[in-house]
Structure 1
């Protein structure tokens, strides 16, 4: 039934932001005992008060579609408390998953202090998120996919690209340059991959991708056009809009409106579905980490990727479960993907690397982690590409007022956005005849500790002109 190389010629990965499996897909199959979702009776203690039960707002207004608000804690210490309770001290025991509420109400980043204990236990229903829910039912949902580490966004995105986080537990403090080998570099033909982005691609933090600026493309002007022309490469990676600008973010990072992410997922699927290469395509929709949102399944032990960790954590545990949906005409409708028979480890972000290595003969594992990660061949459970899926998926007509955009533009940058702003400042400056010389000199300076100045921008409206200019200057004609 499998045979990745014989069935799939194009792998497309869309990585969204900061939602747990239960918060997005926990109610996908409420009556199916084979599906590890929510029963509706799950609770978390609220220190000195009544336990807080999982719940759903039942609405699609701006407030309901932006829960939780404010943004939950997602630092390594926050996640330890979420998993292991108030003292937040991981041990050899299985995580109790009983510290989500207590951690949320202890957050202080938002000046309002309005950290309602109920917010972190909220989940969405298929009726509120019809796009991702339809694709999960029409093709496959994996209820056993974990973030690669109990860490923030950058480490988990590094795992997706590099099979390691090089010991970095949080987004900040940044440690430029990031010199890790990437799966993109494994392709002998550099034309075999592209990265489509909206504002600032987080992949540009990886210095081994700097020589390949021609592989970066603007999503909104290039993706659908390339798909329609049958010009998507072997591997396509898509990054959402992380910042508000003329539009709201569509990454679904709390408290960003999840409906904007539904629009993005629909746009990606619809472009692929109508493409001439559809029957040879595998689309992976996955989230980087849980972002502090409740999930009831304890993460298991993991194989450390390497020995190069600079902090106490050995990267020997997975992070919290995240939503993962697999889409291809070779997948039977209603598939619930579990850990394959014979595998000792669940799916995590390095499963993408394992899949790419197997599909495109990219050689040996990058780290010990992707060496043991199950690949996605087992989800291709049809002999022929007979499940073409719906002609298109249509998101709900979510209404976002102009006032919300103004509010978002003037809101303080979240931790991830701050890190991306800092990353923009660390991009090479093109000044010489040979860009490769510019990059080499820039990396040497970073290694020596010669760092650029990072402007003190605290809101998106202040930061975006700087970020956009840095991207335009470095990528050149890619950004018009």
Structure 2
């Protein structure tokens, strides 16, 4: 950790937050030490996965200090010099606006379009300049802590991932297929599902056919279970669409195609499991047996926790009213449901000391998020790809037919499956306490990769491209010495209070979109949050050829994880931005042909940024960037015959500079800059007197934990 101490960071995390203490029993349970017998991932004995519904990262956490939200310093360029926040809507520009619960029905905000066609139209293959045109103005709404007290408290207490993406530019079912099976079909059966279909009981002769991850766990002897109440799982269990699970439901005694008002689903039992093991994947595993129905449902999970029956892997599917889906649910109700799952686990300290609870969201609904998704290259109109990859990505392009029997899937259109926009991921466990942010690129397959890492059961449906780009979540944990992290208290609520707030909000009109002249770009409070070490070591070098009128970029990955680089041509922003996937330990090159001037803008993981500008009227300087521990080494090469002057602007992190250097013709200049005081963060802009410019920014990774970008946000 750099100069700023962890204690000060945690104190800063609580600025502006008001927490009420948990009851002593829960507070004590949250503070119990982690199982640290081996100091490895093997100390985890249970993984519980709660996937909620339809929220983007900016929509929920864009105002949380210390994460990549509304005060991101490096946002993609839009035509007309507009900021990424200034999105083109119908007849006007729309900026993000606060869904203020004191001014309207913010808790029950309307949902927005979120299917394959409108998702791709809003994304624009990475151009992202007309989001509300396709998603409605409501898509630009966001929350603050006052609407999300429990979700913010979890982020300030445990670990929040701010580079976690949904798996596909589509809706619920395709994303949940990735979450449970590692694919939406291409690697499993050479088919593709990109819209919702087969999300409930149905004929055993119709449905998906490829093998799912729960089946692989069953074969390997790893215990598992999907916790859900039937009939109310909101269609959020994709296993119900697989023929093998449909057959299991019939074998358990349920009708193959129950009527809509059917409620008598056969309760799950150990005896039934011995005969039909897949029934615990789509059966009635949480039957309500009396009292308040919802409390009875949660009591079934609580009984397993306290009775020593919690499986090694558990998936939880919430009822509709508590799924957090816009419309039927609300943030406060979803927060209450998450709270109760956490409480059930922490009420048993012995279980909690060995448990990871992952809370993520299947897709973004239509809500805006400003970070371009690390997707595979998009196709141009001529059939070529805008970008390259060192690993094959044919399984990431929509060229696959619909599954046999499908009546809903569109025809293949060559679009990129994903990953899609950012969604929240909260990592709750005794090994991830302390208010950390993790900025490694993840998607829903990362959850399966984490299970692979812990239980040794591989999911072959995860494509090689996904494995190269999306991490396995292990960087979010401290397994070596987890019991040194402090734990702030949490805000809590009751089911009755959550339901009452929803009812009161329903009496109000939807929060009004501000008038054009009254819009203001949102921001975050400035704060450096403790940030996990990341497996990246990236470089991009540019070489200009004046005679060939070209600029070549070399993408170099010396790290342990693949990365996606986004390149926007600021002189041709109507073009599809190019994307480059570079596996760990590999390099990739591409060339831009230009008549004279060039102006390229590049973004990689965790704020890695490069800008290249010049005019090719003369031999230009060449800049090489390398890392020496926590120092940045800049090497300038004068390729011309004449002396040239290069200025390096003032570094915003250290407040040092500017500097001016004369480099003789054919000469070389080297300068080293320490980045230790800023936690490895750097930002330098270099210019000569002829229009040449380079900007280099990012964070040096040394293998040590650090802080989030300390310049993100405004001082309040």
Change (3 A) 1:404 1:139: closer
Structure with the larger strand share: 2
Change (3 A) 1:402 1:298: closer
Q: Identify the residue that residue 344 of structure 2 maps to in structure 1.
A: 271
Instruction: Indicate yes or no: 2:387 matched with 1:368.
Output: no
Question: How much does 1:283 deviate?
Answer: 1.0
Q: Identify the residue that residue 412 of structure 1 maps to in structure 2.
A: none
Q: Identify the residue that residue 224 of structure 2 maps to in structure 1.
A: 193
Question: How much does 1:160 deviate?
Answer: 0.4
- Specify which of 72, 91, 95 is matched with residue 112 of structure 2: 72
Q: Identify the residue that residue 222 of structure 1 maps to in structure 2.
A: 300
Q: Identify the residue that residue 95 of structure 2 maps to in structure 1.
A: 53
DSSP 3-state at the match of 1:277: helix
Normalised by the length of structure 2, the TM-score is: 0.48
Root-mean-square deviation over aligned CA pairs: 3.0
DSSP 3-state at the match of 1:79: helix
Q: Between Structure 1 and Structure 2, whose CA radius of gyration is higher?
A: 2
Is residue 159–residue 432 contact of structure 2 (8 Å, CA) maintained in 1? yes
Q: Identify the residue that residue 138 of structure 1 maps to in structure 2.
A: 157
Change (3 A) 1:225 1:377: same
Q: Deviation per CA, 1:107-148, whole angstroms, max 9, x where unpaired?
A: xxxxxxxxxx2x221111122212121111211110101111
Instruction: Return the alpha-carbon distance in structure 1 between the equivalents of residues 394 and 226 of structure 2.
Output: 28
- Which runs of structure 2 are paired with 1:372-411 in the superposition (5 Å)? 372=468, 373-386=470-483, 387=485, 389=487, 393-395=491-493, 397-398=497-498, 399-400=500-501
Unaligned runs of 5+ in 1: 85-89, 106-116, 243-248, 340-345, 407-480
Change (3 A) 1:330 1:300: same
Change (3 A) 1:295 1:351: same
Q: Deviation per CA, 1:212-265, whole angstroms, max 9, x where unpaired?
A: 2145421423112212233211101011112xxxxxx11111123221111111
Is residue 448–residue 459 contact of structure 2 (8 Å, CA) maintained in 1? no
Is residue 304–residue 314 contact of structure 1 (8 Å, CA) maintained in 2? no
Change (3 A) 1:43 1:314: closer
Question: How much does 1:191 deviate?
Answer: 6.6
Is residue 198–residue 240 contact of structure 2 (8 Å, CA) maintained in 1? no
Is residue 182–residue 462 contact of structure 2 (8 Å, CA) maintained in 1? yes
Q: Identify the residue that residue 209 of structure 1 maps to in structure 2.
A: 245
Unaligned runs of 5+ in 2: 1-35, 73-82, 186-191, 249-277, 287-296, 377-392, 402-411, 508-716
Is residue 155–residue 169 contact of structure 1 (8 Å, CA) maintained in 2? yes
- Specify which of 278, 293, 299 is matched with residue 373 of structure 2: 299
- Which runs of structure 2 are paired with 1:46-445 in the superposition (5 Å)? 46-49=89-92, 51-59=93-101, 63-67=105-109, 69=110, 71-84=111-124, 90=125, 95-105=126-136, 117=137, 119-166=138-185, 167-172=192-197, 176-187=206-217, 188=219, 192-198=223-229, 199-200=232-233, 202=237, 203-210=239-246, 211=248, 212-214=278-280, 216=283, 217-218=285-286, 219-242=297-320, 249-255=321-327, 256-275=329-348, 276-302=350-376, 303=393, 305=395, 309-310=400-401, 311-313=412-414, 315-339=416-440, 346-363=441-458, 365-368=460-463, 371-372=467-468, 373-386=470-483, 387=485, 389=487, 393-395=491-493, 397-398=497-498, 399-400=500-501
Instruction: Return the alpha-carbon distance in structure 2 between the equivalents of residues 48 and 314 of structure 1.
Output: 28
Change (3 A) 1:204 1:364: closer
Runs of 4+ in 1 over 6 A off after TM superposition: 401-406
Instruction: Return the alpha-carbon distance in structure 2 between the equivalents of residues 57 and 404 of structure 1.
Output: 12
Instruction: Return the alpha-carbon distance in structure 1 between the equivalents of residues 70 and 245 of structure 2.
Output: 40
Change (3 A) 1:329 1:60: farther
Is residue 48–residue 315 contact of structure 2 (8 Å, CA) maintained in 1? yes
Q: Which has the higher contact order (CA 8 A, sep 6+)?
A: 1
Q: Deviation per CA, 1:273-331, whole angstroms, max 9, x where unpaired?
A: 22221111111110001110011111122445478821234645311111111111111
Instruction: Return the alpha-carbon distance in structure 2 between the equivalents of residues 285 and 78 of structure 1.
Output: 26
DSSP 3-state at the match of 1:146: coil
Change (3 A) 1:172 1:182: closer
Q: Deviation per CA, 1:410-447, whole angstroms, max 9, x where unpaired?
A: xxxxxxxxxxxxxxxxxxxxxxxxxxxxxxxxxxxxxx
Instruction: Indicate yes or no: 2:71 matched with 1:39.
Output: yes
Instruction: Return the alpha-carbon distance in structure 2 between the equivalents of residues 104 and 21 of structure 1.
Output: 16
Q: Deviation per CA, 1:7-57, whole angstroms, max 9, x where unpaired?
A: 21111110011111111111111xx3xx211139823112432x2111213
Change (3 A) 1:98 1:314: closer
